[in-house]
């Protein structure tokens, strides 16, 4: 099953899902394709043709791959021929003993695939690109699942309680699947793309899109479809026969080279700093206009939420331990007020943002009223109830 994956972008929008790779071109798949194609043409030929037999796409492809003697003798060396997105080269070969009939040999490896011709002693080289441009990168992707509800229970033609991509329809293994026939999944056993991927976030989170969903993440409609959703029910519950909300969870895939090495890679191997990072209070905070530039650089280099929270814990303690640091403490408070959104967005997990706000409140850098105001102005980013609980603890 192909799961719903969306790569996160810089502007916060979800880009389209990646296209699935080509399916294996087995003998059974060829026969099934031929049978379906001929069956679909059986009623169209009398209507749209004059009785002339029209070869199927698979037959055309087979004819091109056969390369009879007349075609191969007129083909020049290293001339590329594009056949269904595959690059074929003609390479002359001499002294081929007892060439057999023309046939195509398939392989699942990344080596070049060859076919021997009985007429010209040539080999058809099918070049397979084994370079993966993302194999040395640390990838992050969002997994998305829709939770679907209709009154007490869903109807037979409704999507399941949890569905991939969109409740209206889904693409699984390259095929459009009707909403009622989607596989049963849940937030507990949602499958990762492959064994190289792992969960980067500990929990599933409700996707709170401002002005598009209700306070609890639900959106309403007359029935399950791709359009016409709104954030609240109409008068007398009009237009709210069904509702859905989207759950998201962050996945990550470390570089493949790190996964294949003998040493056990850490979860955040790509985030490890290249050099020792100085997070000393005196090195970051001077009480001048350059404090924000130094803070932003250090936050970027630290990478992980845990390291950032440890640094803020040391800074808050140092800023409030003596009267000599009063000017620097005022500078820290000013930066927190002026750049609160950017500072909070530098943390991946919602719980980390709550810990930071509770920390600076207890350290006297921000008042409780200011911190609660941040949550009220953006409830989808900082949960107010959890923040109040953290402030009381």
296-324 per-position pLDDT tens digit: 888 888 877 888 888 888 888 887 776 65
State whether 233 and 324 are in the same domain: no
Helix, strand, coil shares of the chain, percent, nearest 5, are: 35, 15, 50
The pTM (predicted TM-score) of the whole model is 0.34
Would you place residue 270 in the very low, low, confident or very high pLDDT band (cuts 50, 70, 90)? very low
How far is 286 from 325, CA to CA, in rounded Å?
A: 10
β-strand pairing of 86-92 with 122-127: antiparallel
pLDDT at 40: 52
Compute the CA torsion angle 155, 158, 163, 169 (nearest 10 deg).
Answer: 170
Beta-sheet strands, E only, within 219-365: 219-221, 242-253
208 inside domain: yes
State whether 151 and 216 are in the same domain: yes
113 inside domain: yes
Phi and psi at residue 147, to the nearest 5°: -100, 125
Domain boundary among 106, 127, 148: 127
The pLDDT of residue 101 is above 60? no
Range 15-44 average pLDDT = 50
State whether 326 and 347 are in the same domain: yes
73 inside domain: yes
Phi and psi at residue 49, to the nearest 5°: -130, 170
pLDDT at 261: 55
Q: According to the per-residue pLDDT averaged within each range, which of 152-166, 265-279, 360-374 is highest?
A: 360-374
State whether 373 and 299 are in the same domain: yes
Task: Measure Cα distances from 57 to 81, 84, 105, 126 in Å.
Answer: 17, 10, 20, 20
State whether 162 and 86 are in the same domain: no
25 inside domain: no
State whether 141 and 86 are in the same domain: no
State whether 280 and 388 are in the same domain: yes
State whether 230 and 301 are in the same domain: no
Domain boundary among 256, 284, 317: 256
State whether 141 and 90 are in the same domain: no
Contact by Cβ (8 Å): 295, 279? no
How far is 296 from 298, CA to CA, in rounded Å?
A: 6
Tally the domains of the chain.
3
Contact by Cβ (8 Å): 83, 61? yes
The pLDDT of residue 102 is above 50? no
53 inside domain: no
| Residue 295: closest CA among 360, 349, 200 | 360
232 inside domain: yes
Contact by Cβ (8 Å): 57, 37? yes
Task: Measure Cα distances from 183 to 12, 51, 88, 154, 217 in Å.
Answer: 29, 43, 39, 15, 23
Contact by Cβ (8 Å): 103, 115? yes
Would you place residue 167 in the very low, low, confident or very high pLDDT band (cuts 50, 70, 90)? very low
The two structure tokens encoding residue 148: 């679907």
State whether 87 and 200 are in the same domain: no
| Residue 387: closest CA among 357, 366, 361 | 357
DSSP 98: S
Domain boundary among 256, 291, 311: 256
| Residue 196: closest CA among 138, 115, 271, 131 | 138
pLDDT digits 0-9 by tens, 126-156: 333 445 667 778 888 888 888 888 877 778 7
31 inside domain: no
Range 289-295 average pLDDT = 84
State whether 229 and 156 are in the same domain: yes
β-strand pairing of 122-127 with 139-149: unpaired
State whether 93 and 170 are in the same domain: no
Range 101-115 average pLDDT = 36
| Residue 224: closest CA among 162, 157, 172, 171 | 157
Would you place residue 53 in the very low, low, confident or very high pLDDT band (cuts 50, 70, 90)? low
50 inside domain: no
Domain that holds residue 76: 69-127
């Amino acid at each position: 099953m192909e799961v719903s994956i969306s790569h996160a972008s810089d502007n916060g929008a979800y880009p389209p899902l990646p296209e699935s790779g080509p399916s294996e071109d087995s003998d059974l798949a060829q026969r099934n394709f031929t049978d379906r194609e001929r069956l679909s043409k059986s009623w169209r030929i009398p209507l749209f043709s004059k009785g002339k037999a029209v070869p199927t796409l698979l037959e055309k492809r087979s004819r091109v791959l056969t390369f009879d003697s007349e075609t191969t003798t007129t083909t020049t060396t290293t001339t590329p021929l594009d056949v269904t997105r595959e690059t074929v080269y003609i390479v002359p070969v001499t002294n081929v003993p007892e060439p057999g009939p023309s046939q195509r040999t398939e392989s699942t490896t990344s080596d070049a695939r060859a076919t021997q011709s009985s007429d010209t002693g040539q080999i058809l080289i099918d070049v397979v690109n084994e370079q993966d441009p993302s194999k040395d990168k640390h990838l992050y992707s969002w997994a998305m699942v829709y939770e679907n509800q209709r009154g007490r229970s869903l109807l037979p033609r409704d999507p399941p309680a949890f569905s991939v991509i969109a409740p209206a329809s889904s693409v699984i293994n390259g095929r459009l699947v009707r909403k009622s026939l989607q596989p049963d999944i849940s937030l507990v056993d949602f499958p990762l793309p492959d064994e190289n991927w792992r969960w980067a976030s500990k929990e599933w989170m409700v996707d709170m899109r401002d002005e598009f969903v209700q306070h609890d993440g639900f959106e309403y409609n007359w029935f399950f479809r791709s359009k016409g959703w709104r954030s609240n029910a109409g008068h007398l519950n009009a237009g709210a026969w069904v509702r859905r909300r989207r759950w998201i969870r962050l996945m990550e895939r470390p570089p493949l080279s790190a996964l294949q090495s003998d040493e056990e890679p850490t979860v955040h191997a790509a985030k490890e700093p290249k050099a020792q990072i100085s997070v000393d209070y005196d090195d970051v905070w001077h009480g001048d206009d350059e404090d924000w530039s130094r803070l932003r650089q250090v936050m970027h280099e630290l990478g992980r939420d845990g390291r950032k929270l440890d640094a803020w814990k040391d800074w808050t303690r140092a800023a409030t331990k003596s009267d000599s640091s009063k000017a620097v403490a005022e500078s820290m408070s000013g930066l927190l007020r002026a750049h609160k959104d950017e500072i909070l967005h530098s943390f991946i997990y919602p719980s980390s943002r709550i810990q930071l706000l509770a920390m600076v409140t207890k350290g006297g850098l921000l008042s409780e009223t200011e911190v609660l105001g941040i949550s009220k102005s953006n409830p989808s980013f900082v949960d107010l109830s959890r923040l109040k609980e953290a402030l009381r603890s």
